[in-house]
Amino acid sequence: QLQLQESGPGLVKTLDTLSLICSVSGDSIGSSGHYWGWIRQPPDRGLEWIANIKYGGNTFYNPSLRSRLTVSVDASKRQVSLKLSSVTATDTAIYYCARLPWDTDYRGFDFWGRGTLVTVSS
């Protein structure tokens, strides 16, 4: 059964780099047609798409975060990572990773992790 587990520091200092890992089990991270996405949700707010990445393939970033964002896939570790630099309080949010079957049937984010809360504070 597919499991996605986000992990990382719950507290990041202002202007530091936020680093998160999404550990994938129960599915091949390099499965044909599968992308992996990051989405965030500020406390008591709506959802914001961050990026989609495919192992060995394309990466799509939200332009509003593009200059500060790096997303990568390590198939050997079965991990998807996110790094967001120069964070401020507006980056405080629950960060979710999700599976994205896309190349053939465009199914959207069909499985989500439980999310991890990151608070940015000085």
Partner 1 sequence: DIVMTQSPLSLPVTPGEPASISCRSSQSLLHRSGHNFLYWYLQKPGQSPQLLIYLGSNRASGVPDRFSGSGSGTDFTLKISRVEAEDVGIYYCMQGLQVPWTFGQGTKVEIK
Stretch that binds partner 1, among 24-32, 42-50, 67-75, 80-88 (CB under 8 A): 42-50
User: Which CB sits closer to partner 1, 113 or 118?
Assistant: 113
Q: Closest Cα partner for 19 from 43, 45, 41, 38?
A: 38
Q: Strand 59-61 and strand 111-112: pairing? A: unpaired
CB 2 within 8 Å of CB 26: yes
User: Which CB sits closer to partner 1, 1 or 76?
Assistant: 1
> CA-CA distance, 94 to 46, in Å (whole number)?
11
Host H or E run for residue 64: none
Residue choice 36, 38, 95, 96 for contact with partner 1 (CB under 8 A): 96
Stretch that binds partner 1, among 7-15, 26-34, 62-70, 79-87 (CB under 8 A): 62-70
Stretch that binds partner 1, among 21-29, 56-64, 73-81, 82-90 (CB under 8 A): 56-64
Angstrom distances, CA of residue 64 to CA of 18, 27, 32, 94: 16, 31, 29, 18
Contact status: 33 vs partner 1 (CB under 8 A): no
**Binding interface with partner 1 (CB under 8 A):** 39, 46-49, 52, 60-64, 96, 106-115
